[in-house]
Structure 1
Amino acid sequence: MVENLDVNGYTYFRILSYSGARKSEILALKWSDIDFDTSILNISKTLTRGLNNKIIMQPTKTVNGRRVIDMDYDSMKLLKLWKMYQAQFMLKLGFNTNTPDQHVFANTRNNFYSINVPNDRMRNVQKRNGLKQITVHGLRHTHSSILFSMGASIKDVQARLGHTDIQTTMNIYAHVKKEEKKDTADKFAKFMEN
């Protein structure tokens, strides 16, 4: 685990990275949105700024944004561990988190995190550990790029990411293919030089 990232932060960034979901969708997750038996996340809500810059929860912008995301075993195991840890920690603060409406990621007042918190935490970890800078949204792009490089179809990636317009997904695919072509040219040149 990266230094200076607590269990909450590690869990958040693991789920964000391995799901391909938007940061505001992960911040809006409630425990009732997670099915541990089938290893899925039900994405149907997002956090956004409302009147007077207040953070509010609302349905995803589009029907395609409402989706089910299959998750891997280790991510689900981590979520179970986080749920137990959260219950113990929040109980010390006077909150009972054993309700279906409990937010998976909540601040010490048992409310939503600010939408900026993931960005701030990521910059902090990158700075302290000398890591290359990548945005939180960049994790979503990386997720889709890896899926494409592993042979996932454009339609499957579109569904997983919740893109309404397939052109958005195609733009990522084209970017990946361009990088693969460059990599192929470099490999050929290296072979010829040896």
Structure 2
Amino acid sequence: MATFRKRNGKWEYRVSYTDRITGTYKQKSKSGFLTKKEAQLAASAAEKDINYFGFSEDGEEYVEIYFLEWAVTYKKPNVKPITYDLIERTINKIILPRWGKYRLKEINRNEYKKWINELRGRYSEGTVRRIHSIVNTAINDALYEYQIMKLNPISRIKIPKEVEEVQTVKFFSVEQLDLFLEQLTKPVKNSKYGLSMQYTALFTLMARTGIRIGEALALTWSDIDLENGRLHVNKTLVYPRNTTPYISTPKSKRSIREIQLDDPTVKILKKHRINRMEVILQYENYKKPESDIVFFQHDGRWLRTNVVREYFKKTCERANLPILSPHALRHSHAVHLLEAKADLSYVSKRLGHASIKMTGDTYTHITKKIEDDSLDLYQLYMK
């Protein structure tokens, strides 16, 4: 609401509004207008600016209000649910506790850079880059989309890089993998569903194809051509925290792929297809799934990733092997292929990597055997 008055021969407007964070009553005023009409036009523009896209102008809006509404409006419709869940959690748990009560214009470049440096002491370079990307994108949208800021104070902020920090790829040697898969076939004491060979089939498939855990758990029998030994990967199972799991598209376009299965894997999958029906008949509370999913828990729903990880861990312990995660089977498959002198391009396509460079950077110097074999090939070529 605007009011007007004349002082010292000039007109002044006063616009009243409520601060959305504190709930306090505030006013914005300006004087020096020659006529009341000029003051009215200026007041109208000020009121419009205050409510522009629902946000206060000139960086007066609070970070808490802006970021939460920005995420819903600009991010939620344009990213995968799992990505939005990550953005939302980052905003609520990391960004808002530090900046929520600030106004956008109060974000100081030097103070922000100190915060980024502090984050690098707690998180990896990649995680801090993601946090900064969310903040920077939101402020850029405030500048160019909502037009409620005049500049971005954190543009071109540099993230401290990793210093002598080498990413360690964990995998099983061929001998260790054999021990792990063999352990899966042994009876487990006090096992509730001892007849089931589901985990043998699941982990063998992952170890011999390199597919990701989400890709494996999303599989239906229509994705597997057992007669011709072909596996079609075209989806992934996403299990967000405290929400319903859902099927999504794979990690990247190259993740949609067809994989040739070896004979031992085909044989185990055929056994699993029969065994799953035997388990349903054997155990009264074991339900048949409504869909034709390949792997499922006793109530007929998708296997939970946390349950799979726990079973994997227990198997490692029983086999007296290093405690790794199911993703180690993917790494193991890649390393074993390269040790067998498989072409790098073939390995990259089989894994569904975004590029051959990614495959090479990750695996080609993992084991001494790969390095030695590569050097031997070079020396033979040069003779």
TM score, norm. by length of structure 1: 0.83
Residue 108 and residue 73 in structure 1: after superposition, are their counterparts in 2 closer, same or farther (change >3 A)? same
SS in 2 for 1:116: helix
Q: Do structure 1's residue 72 and structure 2's residue 72 form an aligned pair?
A: no
CA offset digits 1:3-56 (Å, max 9, x no partner):
338511111111110011001111111111110111011111111134743221
Structure 2 partner of 1:144 = 334
Structure 1 partner of 2:223 = 33
Structure 1 partner of 2:301 = 111
Deviation at residue 96 of structure 1 after TM alignment: 4.8
Gaps of 5+ in 2: 1-181, 189-193, 375-383
Residue 37 and residue 119 in structure 1: after superposition, are their counterparts in 2 closer, same or farther (change >3 A)? same
Q: Do structure 1's residue 11 and structure 2's residue 201 form an aligned pair?
A: yes
Residue 51 and residue 96 in structure 1: after superposition, are their counterparts in 2 closer, same or farther (change >3 A)? closer
Contact 1:43 1:66 in 2 (8 A): yes
SS in 2 for 1:64: helix
SS in 2 for 1:134: coil
Contact 1:103 1:112 in 2 (8 A): yes
Residue 170 and residue 73 in structure 1: after superposition, are their counterparts in 2 closer, same or farther (change >3 A)? same
- Equivalent-residue separation in structure 1 for 2:333 and 2:237 (angstroms): 21
Describe how 1:153-168 pairs up with structure 2 within 5 A: 153-168=343-358
SS in 1 for 2:255: coil
Q: Which sits farther off after the overlay, 102-111 or 57-66?
A: 57-66
SS in 1 for 2:247: strand
Structure 2 partner of 1:82 = 272
Q: Do structure 1's residue 171 and structure 2's residue 361 form an aligned pair?
A: yes
Structure 2 partner of 1:135 = 325
Q: Which sits farther off after the overlay, 39-48 or 132-141?
A: 132-141
CA offset digits 1:111-161 (Å, max 9, x no partner):
111111221111111222322222211111111011111111111111100
Residue 95 and residue 49 in structure 1: after superposition, are their counterparts in 2 closer, same or farther (change >3 A)? closer
Structure 2 partner of 1:192 = none
Which of structures 1 and 2 has the larger relative contact order (alpha carbons within 8 angstroms, sep 6+)?
Answer: 1
How many residues get paired?
Answer: 183
Residue 177 and residue 84 in structure 1: after superposition, are their counterparts in 2 closer, same or farther (change >3 A)? closer
Residue 41 and residue 183 in structure 1: after superposition, are their counterparts in 2 closer, same or farther (change >3 A)? closer
Higher-Rg structure is: 2
Contact 1:148 1:176 in 2 (8 A): no
TM score, norm. by length of structure 2: 0.44
The alignment-based identity, stated in percent, is: 27
Structure 1 partner of 2:235 = 45
State the superposition RMSD in angstroms.
2.5
Gaps of 5+ in 1: 185-194
Structure 2 partner of 1:191 = none
- Equivalent-residue separation in structure 2 for 1:154 and 1:181 (angstroms): 14
